[in-house]
Amino acid sequence: MFKNADEVMRYIKEEDVKMVDFKMIDIAGNYRHVTIPASSFSETTLVDGVGFDASNYGYAVVEKSDMIFIPDVTTAMIDPFCEIKTLSMTGDAMIIDYPHNRPLAQYPRNIVRAANEYMKQTGIADQMIILPEFEFYLFDDAGWEVKSDHQEIHVGNNQSYLNSNQEGSGNVVAYQKNYHVAKPQDTTYDCRSQMVLRMEEAGIPVKYHHPEVAASGQFEIEPMLGEMSKMADASVMIKYIIKNTAQEYGMSATFMPKPVYGEAGSGMHVHMLLMKGDEPVFSDDAGYSHLSKTAHYFMGGLLKHIASLCAITNPSTNSFKRLVPGFEAPVTVGYATSNRSAVIRIPAYAKTPNLRRFELRNPDATCNPYFAYAAILMAGLDGVANEIDPHANGWGPYDMNLYHLSEEEKKKLKGLPTSLEEALAALEKDHDYLTVGGVFPEELIDNFIRLKKAECAEIAKIPTPAEFERYYNS
């Protein structure tokens, strides 16, 4: 890891680096980039930065949209996907001001920093440690077309049961039976191993990778627990590595929550715990599932604000096609131990005090991870500050399979939003917990809602094949 511009310039010379690439984060949480010749990189680059137009990144700012990007040398790494040797860095967006530039408050990395600072000011904890699980599909074939006279989607994975009538398809996997299948059915093993090696080269420790439930090509890579702001950077890099490695192997990777009708959806479950110094804040042997009062209040905050949180953690119309019963996706506002049908699950295997935690199961990887992790933290801190007890509020613990309740019992449960429009409406009404301490600027929330409402309206206009099937002959 580099500490200053001198170390970077020395490395560039010694390793014969040709290009320096600057990766910026847009409002959706995706990379944009600008590249300069390595010979142009100097200490001045870290001061003057690189100019860009923030409005093209989705940020609506009162100030002029001309911004500068300041690279963070601690993130520097060789980009393994560039044929010409390229050193890559992420960094921060600044508002051009005099005499000193100001951080763009809406910029995702700055949101996470602000949430961290607010947490420290409350005295509740010093660090939030998280572990996001990355589920995704690998397709050998994927394409789509949306025209006035033609709407089409086609996706395919060679190991899928849908290809069982094709020549040479003796290793196909049965419907929803892909979980942990071994070779020869696990045809993408080497591709995923390469993904993991590249993550570790990028400084992202990995716990494991494996096939997931859906037989049409679903998999998971799970990193190790890490500090929230570092994991936000890592989350964008993980997606970058997965997508580019898949392309090298002649496939495409997607983090769409529900790309295949009738198969399991892909989530990004987020495990979390708080630390104050060396002390685990969430651990208490006397508490339910060995969790402390603070942990329960934190869960209470998440459950209280879960509808508005969904707008940030599940920000696509496709997200809500995953959040349906029957595919191990959460649909119920509640908590429990070892129960994947509740939105908060406490893993029974996390037994040591420093590992005691819970996971929020509704998020998916279409989110901007910086916004999502910061919003999760702010909701939880609100729960602690206001001592929101999840049990007293009737949110559990639900230590039973919520999918198998009678219809009468199901009516008593509160459900997650069933559409992005519903989640956005909740965010409009319930976002004060995000703006506390100036963490989320009101301007960002308003802009985010406006952009997402427009997205919903645009998609709602498009007829689908399912509508033709149902209504064409009505």
Active site residues: 53, 133, 135, 212, 220, 269, 340, 359, 361
Three-state SS annotation for 266-306: CCCCEEEEEEECCEECCECCCCHHHECHHHHHHHHHHHHCH
142: which 2 tokens?
A: 């994927």
Residues 315, 254: Cα–Cα separation, whole Å:
15
Radius of gyration of the chain (CA): 23
Task: Say what angle helices 228-248 and 189-201 make with each other, to 10 degrees.
Answer: 140
Beta strands, E only, 38-113 = 50-53, 66-71, 77-78, 86-95, 102-103
**Residue 40, C-beta contacts closer than 8 angstroms, at least 6 positions apart:** 20
Residues 94, 71: Cα–Cα separation, whole Å:
11
Residues 185, 178: Cα–Cα separation, whole Å:
9
Residues 204, 196: Cα–Cα separation, whole Å:
9
